[in-house]
Structure 1
Amino acid sequence: MQLPPTRIKSISEFHRLADLPKPEHPLITVIDLETLKRPLEEGTFSRVFDFYSIALKKNFHLKMQYGQQPHDFEEGILHFMSPGQVLTVSIDNSLPHNPSGWMIFFHPDFLWNTSLAKTIKQYDYFGYAANEALHLSDKEETILTGIAKNISQEYHGNIDGFSQPVIIAQLELLFTYADRFYQRQFVTRKVSSHALLSRLEEVLDHYFQSGALATQGLPTVSFIAKSLHVSPNYLSGLLKAQTGQNTQQLLHDKLIALAKEKLSTTQLPVGDIAYALGFEHLASFSKLFKTKTSLTPLAFRKSFQ
């Protein structure tokens, strides 16, 4: 039976559990994964960190699950986690385990009085489902590893009044490159993206045809994302990259398409159609319909008579 997640509250606690020397700064650390020599305990366990994690892990040969989806770290994959998220790992010691790569941990307190304290939540990949971790090319991996080495040199140097702003600047540079590489991934990984969009259509078609609109209204972005096992931010990012729309715009377009069908193929009163589509007030339905079509619902119906 899998035990409840173990919460690791500080970077010092992680160093102690991993048999690493004490961190040189209480709020940030950079770890070379080749230094993690302690044999891993076989089994499945979960961890919750109270700090941010950025990791480039290779040759782990472990089954890992972050969010809803499993993935591995045999190739160059960059993985981001926010405080409070759960990482589950299954270890089979019959498999080779020669990890390489690096990890950067930093506590939210390290960001106090910096620009990153306000902007870090804009980086959507800290909430991405694990099957959409960032897959790096060799060139991209070299760029990000170079930034990690700069942070490591600053971390292992003499900590002074310039250390924090220098490290913050390097983290922001890393995040900017990650943004660029994620956009590249949206474009190049069309097969998985198209598969997700197909599943999205299935989820929405089922919801719209089930009668749930009348009782529950439009599905929330969170509901749709959960049904697809991705984060709301990832779903919106994918849609924007592939279709130019966000999730809300897509929902409204499907709603108007269904409204057009009912207006043109039935004699139901417009008020009944509005109610069936989840609107409490006819005026709200009419306003959205006219915004999308430049016609009122009645004018649209008359165009078919």
Structure 2
Amino acid sequence: MDNLIRFETVSDYNVFNNAETLHPMVSVIDMAKANPRHAYNMYFGFYTVFLKEVNCGDLRYGKNTYDYQEGTLVFIAPGQVVRVENTGETYQPKGYALVFHPDLIRGTSLGGSIQDYTFFSYHSNEALHISERERKIVLDCFTKIAYELEHAIDKHSRTLIVSNVEMLLNYCIRFYDRQFITRDEVHKGVLERFEHLLNNYFQTNRPQSLGLPSVAWCANELNFSASYFGDLVKKETGRTAQEYIQAKVIDMAKERIFDQSKSISEIAYELGFKYPQHFTRLFKQKTGIAPTEYRALN
């Protein structure tokens, strides 16, 4: 990849941004102290939380640009490559970044639950837009972490730093819950589109050739990341996206079971199951009875 800059360690990223390394595993960076930049690709070997404060430079992940404006937060997980773009020759970044290496949280409660913070897997049009009050909370968390970094490292340092990182991420879960509600216009019709997508899928021959639709496939068709889409469906319905798909499969199966000319195995293959016994197991799990019993009862 052209112009790829790899940041394997926190120290690498500190050097790039003219920031002092106070701790090898974590840093809070004032982006205004960094040198003016141009377009390039960045590989991150650690977790990164960006707080952008002015309109300068656009972040891209995958094929799309982040919905990333003044007063937004973007989360990047280790192993991701992000592109920075801007319309001019160079630009001056402004804002703050919290970066922490996976080794910092290994063996802690945060290390055990980091996968629950699904926003690290979000991408285009899925940045967190925060209010002025929320921004102050984020900056307060950054300040507390920075304070611990400036304090001489002792036996309490790691516990306090990790606790403040975890508090920040928990606040971000709350802010995202609020955003799912306040940005209703952006998400308007997602469930209707999801339902329409599934109906169309099962009315074609695609299940026989492609199998059951996955959450990732549905999310991609609806222009969401799998994580954001899954969280959105969960907030709207109380069910996971996978449970929603399974419910649709069972509804389709119930209709087709009435067709006595087809065996249960044929119906299973039509719906995209590779093995009929997997269909039977799911049907019984969701309805309490086997497909053959359901046919006999009805």
TM-score, L = length of structure 2:
0.87
Instruction: Please state whether the residue corresponding to 1:22 is helix, strand or coil.
Output: coil
**What is the CA-CA distance between 1:203 and the residue it aligns to?**
3.7
**What is the CA-CA distance between 1:298 and the residue it aligns to?**
5.3
Q: Which residue of 2 aligns with 1:86?
A: 81
Q: Aligned pair 1:253/2:247, yes or no?
A: yes
**What is the CA-CA distance between 1:233 and the residue it aligns to?**
2.6
Q: Which runs of 5+ in 2 are unaligned?
A: none
**What is the CA-CA distance between 1:198 and the residue it aligns to?**
4.1
Letter in 2 for 1:108: P
- Cα distance change of structure 1 residues 132 and 153 upon mapping to structure 2, 3 Å threshold: same
**What is the CA-CA distance between 1:112 and the residue it aligns to?**
3.5
**What is the CA-CA distance between 1:142 and the residue it aligns to?**
1.1
Contact 2:211 2:274 in 1 (8 A): no
Structure 1: how far apart are the matches of 2:57 and 2:230? 30
**What is the CA-CA distance between 1:295 and the residue it aligns to?**
5.8
Q: Which residue of 2 aligns with 1:15?
A: 14
Structure 2: how far apart are the matches of 1:296 and 1:255? 15
Q: Which residue of 2 aligns with 1:207?
A: 201
Contact 1:61 1:72 in 2 (8 A): no
Contact 2:19 2:33 in 1 (8 A): no
Contact 1:60 1:72 in 2 (8 A): no
Structure 2: how far apart are the matches of 1:266 and 1:58? 64
Contact 1:59 1:98 in 2 (8 A): no
Q: Which residue of 1 aligns with 2:142?
A: 148
Q: Aligned pair 1:6/2:5, yes or no?
A: yes
Structure 1: how far apart are the matches of 2:107 and 2:276? 49
What are the within-5 Å matches in structure 2 for residues 260-271 of structure 1? 260-264=254-258, 267-271=261-265
**What is the CA-CA distance between 1:68 and the residue it aligns to?**
4.2
- Aligned residue pair count: 298
Contact 1:62 1:72 in 2 (8 A): no
What are the within-5 Å matches in structure 2 for residues 1-305 of structure 1? 3=2, 5-18=4-17, 20-36=18-34, 38-41=35-38, 44-93=39-88, 99-264=93-258, 267-293=261-287, 297=291
**What is the CA-CA distance between 1:290 and the residue it aligns to?**
4.5
RMSD: 2.7
Structure 2: how far apart are the matches of 1:287 and 1:159? 55
Runs of 4+ in 1 over 6 A off after TM superposition: none
Contact 2:27 2:98 in 1 (8 A): yes
Q: Which runs of 5+ in 1 are unaligned?
A: none
**What is the CA-CA distance between 1:270 and the residue it aligns to?**
3.5
Contact 2:36 2:93 in 1 (8 A): no
Instruction: Please state whether the residue corresponding to 2:188 is helix, strand or coil.
Output: helix
**What is the CA-CA distance between 1:299 and the residue it aligns to?**
5.9
Residue identity (%): 34
**What is the CA-CA distance between 1:283 and the residue it aligns to?**
4.7
Structure 2: how far apart are the matches of 1:55 and 1:242? 27
- Cα distance change of structure 1 residues 39 and 250 upon mapping to structure 2, 3 Å threshold: same
